[in-house]
């Protein structure tokens, strides 16, 4: 790492002789494989943008020029080139974030790792620079996958209307988001990649003009007409240029000199320019390339020599959903699965393989997916839309107005709900229950284990008069926690439901183990605690209200934002029913929580048994 160690800022990179850039690129790739294999993280995307990031920092002047990554998981090389080479604590508490972070560096601006936002950010920044008369550029690095999102095209529409914006858009085209990019845009970019015949026509035209002793205006006009026709026919980058955005490319993204040359042209143009760069995800690490590239999008701890995981996880929550979807697909022809560029992560790949005509990947377009699902429900199908919980935020309007208001039988399956850990604030799925709690007619289930996922999914797809939501966390699923009884439609997990409890504990989803431990500790101190799992937690079941009438107090334990979550809804339901008992709400604080392990985040939030018992004890 002799060359890499000399780079402490982009200034050092600019001073580096060009003949050492290839060596630096090799050192960066070796560094990434070595360090990310220890900590886990986004390996494949960063291996693919090494030369591209080098070129950006040699051409532009960060932080005077602003570089916005979309999404930020491709920013590891950027971190290395801006003085952050201590990757030992990557994505752990106190270590580097896996995304850009304003707390880490003045070179980082946009921390949100939700896709398709960079063009809007960059347009706003560039407009500000222009209005203030500052000689500064904004650079947006957006993947072809993120370019499938509608927000990106809203931004392009506006960018094209301002010819003076100091804005460079770099399309990092590796044919993938998490998995292969789909749709009309993907087809268009593929045509740009593979059709180079027009270059031969242009070369012939230039040579002819060069050899002609006298060239008149008509000849030049003919040549430029021929040039435009050739481009439109063989390489329809006109889609961008017709919008009013200058197009440069395609450029080999692993030829640093070519990328640098293209970026310098773009920078000097004086208006918005789109530079189309072709890269290979996982470049330089055989295990992360070609057919298995998507398996290395995000990795846990791996053996760098073999690419195999060092930690073999048990059965996951996602596995349980995946298997049940496969069974439902076999039993019911009306089940349709929808994903937003996350086929493998949300467990829909087996369903897609078995029922290819009933799987829809919309790209990074959660809003479109949600309204399309309402249309599918109207047509007589039952769509199951599986996305990460944090991405439901993006489709709230469509959930409210298109699904709920129209009483559409759509099932939303929210993977990675609650605390997700290393990915940090933008990926914690801690807002979903607060959001959907205000949606009329919506029902939400929070399964406590794998068996309950299967049970809830079957119940959800039988609902045809409104949207249903099923949420579960990331990681390995624990052994089933059997109910010891049922009462008023609720599963009893601990305590005597026939007596009047001193405290009624309402357990929400994966917090069941914590809830039962709290009851055990209170019981050891002589306090009578009853733990129930409503399973379908929103709207608040009548059974919870009836049990609360007999209790001294109620405690709700959930891994959702404590503001507006299940606890808040229980309080409201009891007030509406005239049940005057104290309600203690245990959830995540109304804050953006940083990256750390799930256990560390829960501990910091007071969502472990000891602090919960302490707080309840002081009230008894």
Looking at the annotation, which residues are catalytic? Answer: 281, 366, 394
Q: Is 220 annotated as a binding residue?
A: no
Q: Is 146 annotated as a binding residue?
A: yes
Specify whether the CB–CB gap between 395 and 369 falls below 8 A: yes
Specify whether the CB–CB gap between 98 and 424 falls below 8 A: yes
Cβ count within 10 A of residue 246: 19
How far is it, in rounded angstroms, from Cα 22 to Cα 28? Answer: 10
Q: Is 224 annotated as a binding residue?
A: no
Rounded to 10°, the helix 317-331/450-460 angle is: 40
Tell me the longest C-alpha to C-alpha distance in the chain.
105
Q: Is 195 annotated as a binding residue?
A: no
Q: Which of 165, 151, 313 is nearest to 245 (CA)?
A: 165
SS3 99: coil
> 454-492 in b/e burial notation, b at 16+ Cβ within 10 A?
bebbebbbeeeebbbbbbbbbbebeeebebeeeeeebbb
Q: Write down how long the chain is.
A: 620
Q: Is 145 annotated as a binding residue?
A: yes
Give the sheet arrangement for strand 382-388, strand by strand: 359-361, 335-339, 382-388, 411-415, 468-471, 443-445, 536-538
User: Which DSSP helix (H) or strand (E) runs through 492?
Assistant: strand 490-494
Q: Is 256 annotated as a binding residue?
A: no
According to the 3-state scheme, what is the secondary structure of 235-288?
CCCHHHHCCCCEEEEEEECCCHHHHHHHHHHHHHCCCCEEEEEECCCCCCCHHH
Q: Which residue's structure tokens are 């089940």? A: 335
Rounded to 10°, the helix 50-59/21-39 angle is: 120
Q: Which value, to the nearest 10 degrees, does the dihedral of the CA atoms of residues 341, 156, 262, 32 take?
A: -30
Q: Is 285 annotated as a binding residue?
A: yes
Q: Which residue's structure tokens are 């590891």? A: 76
Q: Which of 563, 552, 620, 617 is nearest to 586 (CA)?
A: 563
| 376 DSSP β-pair partners | none
Q: Is 115 annotated as a binding residue?
A: yes
Q: Is 162 annotated as a binding residue?
A: no
Two tokens at 373?
A: 């699902």
Q: Which residues are annotated as a binding site for Mg(2+)?
A: 144, 174
Q: Which residues are annotated as a binding site for thiamine diphosphate?
A: 73, 113-115, 145-146, 174, 285, 366
Q: Which residues are annotated as a binding site?
A: 73, 113-115, 144-146, 174, 285, 366
């Amino acid at each position: 790492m002799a060359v890499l160690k000399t780079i402490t800022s982009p200034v050092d990179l600019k001073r580096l002789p060009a003949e050492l850039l290839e060596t630096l690129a090799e050192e960066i790739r070796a560094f990434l494989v070595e360090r990310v294999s220890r900590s886990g993280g986004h390996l494949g995307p960063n291996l693919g943008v090494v030369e591209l990031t080098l070129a950006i920092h040699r051409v532009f002047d960060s932080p005077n020029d602003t570089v916005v990554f979309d999404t930020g998981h491709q920013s590891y090389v950027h971190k290395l080139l801006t003085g952050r080479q201590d990757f030992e604590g990557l994505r752990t508490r106190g270590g580097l974030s896996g995304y850009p972070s304003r707390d880490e560096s003045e070179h980082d601006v946009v921390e949100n790792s939700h896709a398709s936002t960079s063009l809007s950010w960059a347009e706003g920044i560039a407009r500000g620079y222009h209005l203030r008369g500052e000689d500064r550029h904004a650079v947006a690095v957006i993947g072809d996958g993120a370019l499938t999102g509608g927000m990106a095209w809203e931004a392009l529409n506006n960018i094209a209307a301002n010819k003076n914006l100091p804005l460079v858009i770099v399309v990092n085209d590796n044919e993938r988001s998490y998995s292969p990019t789909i749709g009309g845009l993907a087809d268009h970019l593929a045509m740009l990649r593979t059709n180079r015949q027009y270059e031969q026509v242009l070369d012939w035209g230039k040579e002819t003009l060069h050899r002609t002793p006298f060239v008149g205006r008509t000849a030049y006009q003919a040549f430029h007409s021929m040039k435009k026709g050739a481009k439109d026919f063989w390489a329809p980058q006109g889609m961008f240029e017709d919008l009013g955005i200058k197009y440069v490319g395609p450029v080999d993204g692993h030829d640093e000199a070519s990328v640098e040359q293209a970026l310098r042209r773009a920078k000097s143009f004086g208006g918005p320019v789109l530079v189309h760069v072709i890269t290979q995800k996982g470049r330089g690490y055989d295990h992360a390339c070609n057919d298995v590239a998507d398996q290395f999008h995000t990795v846990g701890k791996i053996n760098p020599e073999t690419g195999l995981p060092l930690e073999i996880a048990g059965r996951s929550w996602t596995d349980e959903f995946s298997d049940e979807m496969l069974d439902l697909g076999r039993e019911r022809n009306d089940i349709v699965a929808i994903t937003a560029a996350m086929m493998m992560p949300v467990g829909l790949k087996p369903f897609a393989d078995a029922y290819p005509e009933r799987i829809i990947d919309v790209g990074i377009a959660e809003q479109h997916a949600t309204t399309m699902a309402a249309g599918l429900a109207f047509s007589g199908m039952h769509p199951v839309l599986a996305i990460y919980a944090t991405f439901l935020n993006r489709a709230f309007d469509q959930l409210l107005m298109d699904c709920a208001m129209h009483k559409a039988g759509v099932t939303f399956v929210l993977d990675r709900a609650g605390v997700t850990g290393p990915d940090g604030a933008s990926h914690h799925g801690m807002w979903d229950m607060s959001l959907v709690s205000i949606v009329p007619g919506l029902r939400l289930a929070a399964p406590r284990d794998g068996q309950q996922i299967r049970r809830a999914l079957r119940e959800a797809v039988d609902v045809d008069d409104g949207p249903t939501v099923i949420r579960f966390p990331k990681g390995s699923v624990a052994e089933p926690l059997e109910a010891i009884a049922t009462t008023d439609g609720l599963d009893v997990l601990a305590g005597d439901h026939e007596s009047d409890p001193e405290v009624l504990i309402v357990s929400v989803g994966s917090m069941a183990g914590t809830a039962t431990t709290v009851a055990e500790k209170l019981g050891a101190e002589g306090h009578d605690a009853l733990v129930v799992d409503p399973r379908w937690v929103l709207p608040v079941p009548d059974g919870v209200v009836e049990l609360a009438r007999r209790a001294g107090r109620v405690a709700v334990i959930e891994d959702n934002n404590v503001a507006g979550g299940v606890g808040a809804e229980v309080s409201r339901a009891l007030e509406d029913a005239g049940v005057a008992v104290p309600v203690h709400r245990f959830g995540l604080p109304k804050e953006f929580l940083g990256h750390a392990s799930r256990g560390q985040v829960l501990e910091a939030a007071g969502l472990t048994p000891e602090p919960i018992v302490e707080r309840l004890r002081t009230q008894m």
